[in-house]
Each structure stands twice: as C-alpha cells, then as structure tokens.
C-alpha cells in the first residue's frame, strides 16, 4: 500500500468511528424519579426558552423565567 491508500483507509475508519459515536455514544438524561415531577421554567414572552433550574433569565428579552404548570 502506498501513502495515499493509507490516508484513504485511515480516513474511512475515522469516518465510521465518528458516525458510530454520533449515533450511539450519546447518553440520555435520566428521567425524574417516580412521583416527582421535574420543575420547568420558561419565559412568559418566549415559551420555547426553558430551563430546569430556577433563577434564570430569557436569552432573548432578559425577563425572569417563571415556573410552568405541569400537565
């Protein structure tokens, strides 16, 4: 094998390894314990801006995040 073939082979192996890591290497967060509802906080004007911790502020308008009602 010449140098160019080695680089192509190593690049292919690296691409396969990165693809496998991307799909299978991510850890999923643990769900909240049974009986405990996780609090969620959101901006009143931009409800898609959320945070799991209290005391945050909206990254768009700077308003304080308020607790959302859980269904």
For residue 15, the model assigns a pLDDT of: 96
Rg (CA), the chain: 22
pLDDT at 71: 53
Q: What b/e sequence results for 49-68 when a residue is b if at least 16 CB atoms lie within 10 Å of its CB, and e otherwise?
A: bebeeeeeebeeeeeebeee
pTM (whole model) above 0.85:
no
pLDDT in tens, the chain (71 residues): 799 999 999 999 999 999 988 888 777 766 666 555 567 899 999 988 988 888 889 989 999 999 987 55
């Amino acid at each position: 094998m010449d140098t160019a073939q080695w680089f192509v082979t190593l690049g292919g192996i690296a691409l396969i390894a990165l693809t496998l890591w991307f799909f299978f290497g991510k850890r999923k967060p643990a769900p909240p314990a049974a009986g405990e509802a996780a609090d969620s906080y959101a901006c009143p004007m931009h409800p898609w801006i959320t945070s799991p911790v209290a005391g945050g502020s909206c990254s768009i308008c700077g308003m304080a995040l308020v607790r959302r009602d859980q269904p």
